Structure 1
């Protein structure tokens, strides 16, 4: 039986991933996952697609305190109680919604890293972003609460590519070990521990996969996108790797749990 082999969350959209051994699952995804996002003064969201150096920022958030670290900048720690929490209009792709401001100190820290004025926004306790298309609230994630990938599929890509790639390039939340490469393409419902997930749709891949998480730099050879394009391109000419998930109930995930394929 396949097993849950890794868990990752990203407290701030597009920053470095945090490795977990267990995580609570709520309606909007893993607890504390993508609860913050960097935006431009007008509300436009900023990601590592255009600013790959964002992946050099390590963030930790426990619900009460946000800690930020970067190799070239002094660390900063801010209490949630210090957040101004003023409504701020923003968007993620076609979804327009209102988030909350944090502090001038956090805005200034990210502005120094980005080299231009930006703000750090917080979703608050509950996201205002309800996606009717999928029938659930979503964090600052691109479109769905969670992303699943498998070790077998990554091994298949690495067997075809000239270089070895790591799972964090694909920025999953849930990683599954066991089974055949791309078996996840045929799953529609799965259970991990006590949580049942609907496998909503395959994930389109973009230039983000070419960013080396260790350096925050884009690979000049265009890999692994170039390799994926040879055999993972759909009829719509998009490249696919991984599956987007929607949890049907809440619960806790623990690395090592069995993954049951329900449908």
Structure 2
């Protein structure tokens, strides 16, 4: 069998933080990440951000981005179609992992829809074309993503995990549990740990550091509930724990050169 060189096998964006991923055939990539990725977020009335770590049902929300509209869908709930031109856009103080900044409000109708889905008071926030959130640690503006503009995972790494767990799990763990933007096929398990700089399509990327994982990866994206036994976090902890004690899976990326990338693009390892 002829070995296939590393290439992009899947592209995703997550318009709303913690929502279901949107599969893309092409992605325009800017400094802050994939265009449209994590530009919306739910928050509590006091500004604290809400994610699937505490509200796993968020992963059942589907978001469709139109030219001037945003449509949110959730099982058993009427779809919500929002016109961006109708957003209130009032500054709203919030924070993501210690970064405090002013996001923008959307509409009261959106807040009511989110409140109904979560069963508690919530706001739907957004950010404009350029995020007001500046991460001093990476000297870069990012949207509502946890820490970096992009996340990459190799298919070989997930296959390795599933092979280790084959006897103990009812079905293989899915890439959707790990919420990458870029998935790479044709590389060995955890080959991405050794990559430093990449060219994919028109885009150049710097590999910054491994992604530390938490309870998010134990959410079943098909049901919006936690999987039993804290898996696959428990198994990953037996062989993917870093020197800092954190469980590592996938690589965080920064954008060196903006542009477009597509499914099937060759992944050139520059360093």
RMSD (Å), alpha carbons: 0.8
Deviations, residues 211-256 of structure 1 (Å, cap 9, x unaligned)? 0001000001211111101100112111000000001111001000
Q: Tell me whether 1:95 sits opposite 2:103 in the alignment.
A: no
- Tell me if structure 2 keeps the 8 A contact 1:9–1:18: yes
Aligned partner of 1:8 in structure 2 is 12
Q: Tell me whether 1:127 sits opposite 2:135 in the alignment.
A: no
Question: Which whole-Å CA distance do the structure 1 matches of 2:219 and 2:109 have between them?
Answer: 28
Flag structure 2 segments of 5+ consecutive residues without an equivalent.
none
Aligned partner of 2:46 in structure 1 is 42
Aligned counterpart for 1:65 among listed residues 54, 69, 80:
69
> What's the TM-score once normalised by structure 1's chain length?
0.98
Aligned counterpart for 1:211 among listed residues 208, 219, 223:
219
Aligned partner of 1:105 in structure 2 is 109
Shift of 1:63: 5.0
- Tell me if structure 2 keeps the 8 A contact 1:99–1:123: yes
> What's the TM-score once normalised by structure 2's chain length?
0.96
- What aligned pairs does 1:173-252 form with structure 2 within 5 A after superposition? 173-252=181-260
Q: Tell me whether 1:153 sits opposite 2:157 in the alignment.
A: yes
Flag structure 1 segments of 5+ consecutive residues without an equivalent.
none
Deviations, residues 162-192 of structure 1 (Å, cap 9, x unaligned)? 2210001000000000121001001111110
Task: Give aligned pairs, total.
Answer: 263
- Runs of at least 4 residues off by over 3 Å: none
- Tell me if structure 2 keeps the 8 A contact 1:32–1:62: no
Question: Which whole-Å CA distance do the structure 1 matches of 2:66 and 2:52 have between them?
Answer: 23
